[in-house]
Amino acid sequence: MISLVDKIKTDILVVGSGPAGSVTARYAAMKGAQVTFIERRLEVGVPVRCGEMIPSNEEIKGMFPNLEDAESLFDIPKELHLRDIKGIKLIDPKDKCTLLDFTGYTINRDKFDQYLADEAQKEGADLIKSCQFKEIKDGKAVTTCGDIEYKVIIGADGPGSRVAQSLGLMRNHMPYPAVTAQAKGDFEPYVQMFFGGIAPGAYSWVIPKIGQANIGVGFSPKFSNGTLSHYFDKFVKMHEFDVISDKLEGKYVPSEGAIPKTVAGNGMVVGDAAGHVISVNGGGIPLALIAGRFCGQVAGDNIKEGRSLIDYETLWKEVLYKPLKIAANNKRLADTFAFGSDKRTEICMSILGMRRMGKLIRCKHLFP
Ligand SMILES: Cc1cc2nc3c(=O)[nH]c(=O)nc-3n(C[C@H](O)[C@H](O)[C@H](O)COP(=O)(O)OP(=O)(O)OC[C@H]3O[C@@H](n4cnc5c(N)ncnc54)[C@H](O)[C@@H]3O)c2cc1C
């Protein structure tokens, strides 16, 4: 840990200690580069703003067939796996349920993020908490803990990325707001996703943990006419959830797939900052790890042997581009045909049926 009185000069500055930032920092440090990652929050991963579900390695490999060595990247210690997920129940506005075989597991997201940040520090990356990036000025990063000199800067600072803005890269437009909380109780080992007016243009969810579940709501501003807390309260009332969280935690979810350009000069963006999120379901943790590994490796090689940063964009695109593009197209189809009224949602879910809804979740073409 660096003390704030030190003058900070580093090879690679990573902004953000979410999954994308920590994995980037870890793989860059493994290359022998000097890495500093900064986090504006007091504690890594706190508060939790996530559904806390990760697909199984088999599902991840199915979604991203070009991904190599998924095993080492997703070698998450067993003690962080809270609960195995056996499937997903997709529930239409009239409560008709379609059960998909889909395996995964739940986590405590704060512990998960802290584990990834620890792994980066074990490789020699320095973490500075309570340090917020503001802008790039005269080639230095201006932060709340002083100016930081770097050779490469990486924005892993989430959907509203200030680093992307400072580098002149596009930021996600039309991100969806989503809120989450914990509810007490015994829940079956299935994720439940509820569609229709309960979460216009997106879905509300129940994701089982141990003795409790993560519950939440996301919506598309274009299809809704209330506040998120209004929709959340309605969802809670409808299912009589015993909410144990003190307050709702919310964040934006990129909804349109990856931004086209993720490298500018000596800067790169990764994870939510780059739109590495599956548009149809808002899942982004696996993608943050996949792109983070490429980003860290290329940044490290850039410092050590002058490798071009553009290689990062080539690498993540080989694995993520096509599935993300298909998901974004499927999302557009859903916006056009399935959302807007409960009747339309119901008809579309019935037409799609189990097989095609499985394709939707797994970023595959719906037709033929
Ligand atoms: C409600 C909700 C539920 C979700 N559920 C799931 C799920 O169940 N499964 C799944 O796979 N995905 C889920 N996602 C998506 C997933 O959380 C993200 O895709 C993932 O967190 C992306 O990781 P990241 O590291 O890119 O960004 P983040 O996790 O957002 O991390 C960014 C970090 O950067 C820090 N930061 C931001 N700005 C600055 C700054 N200026 N200076 C310093 N630090 C800064 C932030 O504090 C944060 O710690 C969900 C998202 C939401 C909003």
pLDDT digits (tens, 9 = 90+) for 177-222: 999 999 999 999 999 999 999 999 999 999 999 999 999 999 998 8
Task: Give the position of tokens 């803005």.
Answer: 165
Q: What is the largest CA-CA distance in the chain?
A: 62
Tell me, yes or no, whether 368 lies in a domain. no
Closest C-alpha to ligand 1, atom 7: 51
| pLDDT at position 174 | 81
Pick 88 or 7 by higher pLDDT: 88
Rounded Cα distance between 136 and 132, Å, is 12
Rounded Cα distance between 350 and 342, Å, is 12
Helix/strand/coil percent split, the chain, to 5:
35, 25, 40
Determine what percent of the chain is predicted with pLDDT higher than 70. 98
Instruction: For residue 158, report the distance from its CA to the centre of ligand 1, in Å.
Output: 5
Closest C-alpha to ligand 1, atom 17: 50
Rounded Cα distance between 21 and 156, Å, is 5
Tell me, yes or no, whether 367 lies in a domain. no
Task: Give the position of tokens 């939440």.
Answer: 216
Instruction: For residue 62, report the distance from its CA to the centre of ligand 1, in Å.
Output: 23
Tell me, yes or no, whether 319 lies in a domain. yes
Helix (H, G, I), strand (E, B) or coil at 166: helix
Residue 169 DSSP symbol: P
Amino acid letter for position 122: K
pLDDT of residue 173 exceeding 90: no
CATH of the domain at 65: 3.30.9
Rounded Cα distance between 18 and 155, Å, is 11
Phi then psi for 232, rounded to 5 degrees?
A: -65, -45
Q: What is the mean pLDDT of residues 89-113?
A: 98
Q: Are residues 206 and 313 part of one domain?
A: no
Q: Are residues 184 and 135 part of one domain?
A: no
Question: What residues does ligand 1 touch, defined as CB less than 6 Å away?
Answer: 15-21, 38-41, 49-54, 132-133, 156-158, 162, 178, 180, 216, 251, 253, 271-273, 277, 282-285, 288
Model pLDDT for residues 22-45, shown as the tens digit of each residue: 999 999 999 999 999 999 999 999
Q: What is the mean pLDDT of residues 306-310?
A: 98
| pLDDT at position 5 | 45
pLDDT band at 287 (very low <50, low <70, confident <90, very high): very high
Tell me, yes or no, whether 121 lies in a domain. yes
Q: Are residues 167 and 114 part of one domain?
A: yes
Closest C-alpha to ligand 1, atom 50: 50
- When the pLDDT of each residue in the chain is averaged and rounded to a whole number, the result is 96
- What ranges in 192-227 are assigned the alpha helix state H? none
Prediction pTM value: 0.97
CATH of the domain at 311: 3.50.50.60
| pLDDT at position 92 | 97
Dihedral sign (CA 358, 236, 239, 213): positive
Q: Are residues 214 and 147 part of one domain?
A: no
Q: Are residues 189 and 44 part of one domain?
A: no
Q: Are residues 116 and 102 part of one domain?
A: no
- By the 8 A CB rule, do 259 and 328 touch? no
Rounded Cα distance between 271 and 257, Å, is 11
pLDDT band at 172 (very low <50, low <70, confident <90, very high): confident
pLDDT of residue 3 exceeding 80: no
Rounded Cα distance between 314 and 291, Å, is 11
**Which H or E element spans position 306?**
none
pLDDT of residue 225 exceeding 90: no
Q: Strands 133-137, 242-243: parallel, antiparallel or unpaired by DSSP? A: unpaired
| pLDDT at position 367 | 85
Q: Are residues 156 and 58 part of one domain?
A: no
| pLDDT at position 2 | 52
If we measure between CA atoms, which residue out of 110, 158, 161, 155 comes closest to residue 272? 158
Q: Which domain holds residue 16?
A: 8-50+110-173+255-330
Residue 34 structure tokens: 């000097």
If we measure between CA atoms, which residue out of 15, 17, 21 comes closest to residue 293? 21
Q: Are residues 92 and 209 part of one domain?
A: yes
The domain tally of the chain equals: 2
Rounded Cα distance between 159 and 267, Å, is 17
| pLDDT at position 6 | 58
Amino acid letter for position 25: A
Q: Are residues 242 and 191 part of one domain?
A: yes
Lowest mean pLDDT among 1-5, 55-59, 254-258, 322-326: 1-5
Rounded Cα distance between 322 and 287, Å, is 13
Lowest mean pLDDT among 76-80, 122-126, 223-227: 223-227
Q: Are residues 134 and 16 part of one domain?
A: yes
Tell me, yes or no, whether 139 lies in a domain. yes
Q: Are residues 249 and 261 part of one domain?
A: no
pLDDT band at 141 (very low <50, low <70, confident <90, very high): very high
Tell me, yes or no, whether 287 lies in a domain. yes
Tell me, yes or no, whether 30 lies in a domain. yes
Extended strands (E) in 21-130: 35-38, 53-55, 83-91, 97-106, 126-128
Instruction: For residue 112, report the distance from its CA to the centre of ligand 1, in Å.
Output: 12
pLDDT of residue 64 exceeding 60: yes
Partner residues linked to 216 by β-bridges: 180, 205
Q: Are residues 248 and 197 part of one domain?
A: yes
Tell me, yes or no, whether 74 lies in a domain. no
Residue 46 DSSP symbol: -
pLDDT of residue 4 exceeding 70: no
Q: What is the mean pLDDT of residues 323-341?
A: 94
